[in-house]
Amino acid sequence: MEDTSEPSDDLKSEPGVITQAELDKLLADHTAYLMDRMLPSAEFPNVIIRRLTTPAKTNSNRANLSSTVVGTFAIACVALLAASGQPLAASRCAPVCTDRPIPSRYVDAAPFDAAIAAANREGVTWPSVSGITVPHHLLAADLIARAFRLVKDGGFDRIIVLSPDHFKRAARPFATTRRDFDTVYGRVVTHRRDVERLLQVPDLVEESDLFEEEHGIGALLPFLKRALPDAAIVPIAISLSSSRADWDRLLPQLSALVGRRTLVVQSTDFSHYLSFPQAIRRDQETLNAIAASDLDAVAALIQPKHLDSRGAEYIQLRLQRERFGAEPEVLFNSNSSAYPLTVDSSTTSYVVQVFARGTRERVGPDLPGSQVFCFAGDTFFGRGVAAALARPEIAAEVRRELKGVLNGCRLILNLEGVAVPAVPRRLAPLQLAMPAALLRDWLQSLGAVAVSLANNHSMDLGASAREAMARDLTAMDIAVLRHGEILDLGAFRLAGLTDSDNSRGMLEGVVTQADIAQLMHATARPPLFAFMHWGLEFAAMPSQRQRELAAELRRAGVALAIGAHPHVASRGLELIPGGYALGVFSLGNFLFDQKSQVASGVILELRAFAQGTFFARLVPLGNVIERARVERQ
């Protein structure tokens, strides 16, 4: 169901001096809406362009985004609209202009300069980028600048820009233009040959002058011009009423335009007109659909409660996967209520996605407003692993490879077996024991912050041995997770459950309704994750029992279910049916003495945003012990 509601108040006022009270009211009622409708050209009054001294709101669940640059930008935009008395619509020539460029929406480069300079100081870069998703509300100028910093001087000669048709001007599913665009940094040229090719499908794509008013493209062009000054653009506005069939029809047309030096820019703002708690829920639903690369779920998102253009997200996901082999990573997620002088009652959410060619086999770094955690699967430092790591050259190679993949993330793993000062000579076939000194060395070296003992091997040498190991881990400042417990790890809460227990001879069925109910009634604040030890060994697909437990976990409020025990990695993240909770049924092996013919592994990278949302992706992990042995033979 479409929700196209907008504030209905008359936004125009008589020219004059705006009071602080009037400005506060405008900000409270219309911040995001006014960002949509900034004037196409006008001077920012010097009296408004001043250093903002009001701090941003903060609490434990959202980012502190008190940027003086961004705050100044928002104040300038709102005050300009309130005080100018100019009409909102740009003048147009009829029926379609092709002989003159679309005029710049802005004449003052200073706010853009400041946001771009701040992003350059942060210096965040990303390899092999083929696409980005950016906001178009200039309230989030810091995020727009960070996104374009990722592609600065990237050698692109063509940029496809996907934007919503905010004001419903297009009569066809898509619109484009042959006209160039002027900006405060000079002219952005349109790739006319590519535009002509799109216009060869007239029942799908029309030429339109809607871009004179469309901030979905106009607000990005100054950033684009600074980052990629020589690139030509292919502007595309997507009708809010376009269908999945329309998106699928456009994809072959766009695919024919894409080359190695093409960048696809998706201009999208996410949840609209919601309170902050409602926005967090909708954002997480959207982030999970993106993480699972679930096109059906993306097509079913609600405009504008989830985002302002399902079509842009759908087209970007398919185009990146099919033309570049690229999957999304969400680097930033924030909300308008985190910015100075805005309120929670009617918010807009902002997301920055990046797409990189191929599979990125390394965990991403912490970024402003987020922390990165890694979940690893079955881990054992005994038997063949201990023997291999006793060889210095193999240990050095394994350590180098694992640290390269983990990239300093906060590591959480499923620890199979019991660490003891001296491993007994005689152990039963299913008893797992490992040297305590070896375990300490490797957990500290790899940056472990927590381990789960909620598995079938933690009691292999009895309760006293398990608790001695737990005390040793705690002394190392590594949190210990047992069956039925919930850890507070700051950015999220983590429950541990095992559905098998060797000490009781149970291969399945340990988790009870009472265990699930305990999670439902826990006082832990969201988000709540569950680290599950479940399933059948060496089974590539989840069992019916796993799927039933996943559904029960979702109903109990678990936002992310993370599985271990099968020794075989799942092929991807999945949406748990019945809601937008996310799951990976098995991480497979992290370190184990099993061959690649029967075992595999992945790392779950989890980026936890300060506002309380998260984004997950899987990072491939080979059999590092086996590979190091082969290389050192």
Nearest to 576, CA basis, from 519, 530, 514, 513? 530
pLDDT in tens, 335-373: 999 998 776 679 999 999 999 998 789 999 999 999 999
Confidence of residue 131 (pLDDT cuts 50, 70, 90): very high
pLDDT in tens, 154-164: 899 999 999 99
Sorted by sequence, the CB contacts under 8 Å of residue 348 that are 6+ apart come out as 31, 32, 35, 137, 139, 269, 270, 271, 272, 273, 335, 336
- State the distance between the two ends of the chain, measured CA to CA, in whole angstroms: 62
Mean pLDDT for the chain overall? 86
Nearest to 187, CA basis, from 145, 149, 131, 231? 231
Q: What's the confidence (pLDDT) of residue 23?
A: 42
Confidence of residue 627 (pLDDT cuts 50, 70, 90): confident
The one-character DSSP state at 248 is H
Cα torsion 604, 327, 310, 492 to 10°: value is 20
**Least confident segment among 54-63, 234-243, 280-289, 291-300:** 54-63
| 36 pLDDT above the threshold of 90 | no
Confidence of residue 506 (pLDDT cuts 50, 70, 90): confident
| 508 pLDDT above the threshold of 90 | no
Does the CA dihedral 188-154-111-266 come out positive or negative? positive
Residue 62 CA to residue 59 CA, distance in Å, equals 6
In DSSP terms, which residues pair with 131 in a beta bridge? 264, 355
Q: What's the confidence (pLDDT) of residue 78?
A: 41
Q: Report yes or no: 595 and 574 within 8 Å, Cβ to Cβ.
A: no
| 264 pLDDT above the threshold of 70 | yes
Q: Report yes or no: 357 and 325 within 8 Å, Cβ to Cβ.
A: yes
| 24 pLDDT above the threshold of 80 | no
| 515 pLDDT above the threshold of 80 | yes
C-alpha to C-alpha distances, 267 to 120, 332, 553, 572, nearest whole angstrom: 21, 14, 35, 27
Residue 217 CA to residue 598 CA, distance in Å, equals 50
Q: Which of 94-98, 499-503, 504-508, 606-610 has the highest mean pLDDT?
A: 606-610
pTM (predicted TM-score): 0.86
Domains, the chain, ordered by start? 126-356 (3.40.830.10), 370-631 (3.60.21.10)
In DSSP terms, which residues pair with 234 in a beta bridge? 160
Q: What's the confidence (pLDDT) of residue 444?
A: 97
Confidence of residue 519 (pLDDT cuts 50, 70, 90): confident
Length of the chain: 633
| 42 pLDDT above the threshold of 60 | no
Nearest to 62, CA basis, from 300, 308, 349, 484? 349
Residue 134 CA to residue 607 CA, distance in Å, equals 18
**Least confident segment among 426-430, 501-505, 552-556, 594-598:** 501-505
| 54 pLDDT above the threshold of 50 | no
Confidence of residue 524 (pLDDT cuts 50, 70, 90): low
Q: Report yes or no: 190 and 180 within 8 Å, Cβ to Cβ.
A: yes
Confidence of residue 632 (pLDDT cuts 50, 70, 90): low
Q: What's the confidence (pLDDT) of residue 275?
A: 94
Confidence of residue 97 (pLDDT cuts 50, 70, 90): low
Percent helix, strand and coil across the chain, each to the nearest 5: 35, 25, 45
* String of DSSP letters for 212-245: GT-HHHHTTHHHHHHHSTT-EEEEEEE-TT--HH
pLDDT in tens, 165-217: 999 999 999 999 999 999 999 999 999 999 999 999 999 999 999 999 999 99
In which residue are the tokens 């790591």 written? 389
pLDDT in tens, 590-613: 999 999 988 999 999 999 999 999
- pLDDT > 90 in the chain, percent: 76
**Least confident segment among 9-23, 205-219, 290-304:** 9-23
- pLDDT > 70 in the chain, percent: 83
In which residue are the tokens 């910093």 written? 149
Sorted by sequence, the CB contacts under 8 Å of residue 169 that are 6+ apart come out as 175, 208, 210, 213, 214, 237
Q: Report yes or no: 487 and 522 within 8 Å, Cβ to Cβ.
A: no
| 90 pLDDT above the threshold of 50 | no
Residue type, 33: Y
**Least confident segment among 1-5, 50-54, 229-233:** 50-54
| 429 pLDDT above the threshold of 80 | yes
Upper half-sphere CA count for residue 273 (Cβ side, 13 Å): 15
Q: For the residues 491-506, what does the mean pLDDT come to?
A: 90
Residue 17, φ and ψ in degrees, nearest 5 = -90, 125
| 86 pLDDT above the threshold of 80 | no
Q: Report yes or no: 180 and 189 within 8 Å, Cβ to Cβ.
A: yes
